[in-house]
Structure 1
Amino acid sequence: MSGKANFESTRRRLSGQQAETVDRLTKAAVAILRTHGFSALTIRMVAGEAGVAPATAYTYFSSKSHLVAELFWRRLDALPHEADSEQDRESQVCSVLRSVALLVSDEPELAAAVTTAMMADDPDVEHLRARIGKNIRERLVEALGPEHDADVLEALEIAWSGALVRAGMGYESYSQIADRLEITARLIMAGHDNS
Structure 2
Amino acid sequence: MSTPAATSVSTESTRRRLTAQQAETVAKLTDAAVEVLRADGFDGLTVRSVAKLAGVAPATAYTYFSSKSHLVAEVFWRRLAQGVPEPDMSATPAQRVVELLRSIALIVTGDGDLGGAVTVALLGTDPDVEHLRLRIGGFIRRRLADALEVDAQNPGPVVEALEMLYAGGLVHAGMGHMSYEDTADRLTEAALLILKEHQ
TM value normalised by structure 1 = 0.95
Match status 1:96 vs 2:86 = no
Structure 2 counterpart of 1:175: 181
Q: Which amino acid aligns with 1:95?
A: E
Of the candidates 123, 126, 132, which is equivalent to residue 122 of structure 1? 126
Structure 1 counterpart of 2:32: 28
Q: Which amino acid aligns with 1:37?
A: G
- The 3-state SS of whatever aligns with 1:184 is helix
Overall identity of the aligned pairs, in %: 55
Match status 1:156 vs 2:173 = no
Match status 1:46 vs 2:50 = yes
Structure 2 counterpart of 1:76: 80
Structure 2 counterpart of 1:13: 17
Give deviations 1:9-56, integer Å, cap 9, x for gaps: 101111111111111111111111100000010011111111111110
1 CA distance for matches of 2:145 and 2:85?
11
Q: Which amino acid aligns with 1:124?
A: D
2 CA distance for matches of 1:125 and 1:113?
13
Runs of 4 or more above 3 Å deviation? none
Give deviations 1:66-99, integer Å, cap 9, x for gaps: 0000000000110253221231111111110000
2 CA distance for matches of 1:52 and 1:192?
51
1 CA distance for matches of 2:86 and 2:123?
29
- Tell me how large the CA RMSD over aligned residues is: 1.3
**Structure 1 residues 32-41 or 106-115, which shifts more?**
106-115
Q: Which amino acid aligns with 1:69?
A: A
Unaligned runs of 5+ in 1: none
TM value normalised by structure 2 = 0.93
Q: By how many angstroms is 1:191 displaced? A: 1.2
1 CA distance for matches of 2:176 and 2:192?
24
2 CA distance for matches of 1:87 and 1:69?
31
2 CA distance for matches of 1:149 and 1:139?
11
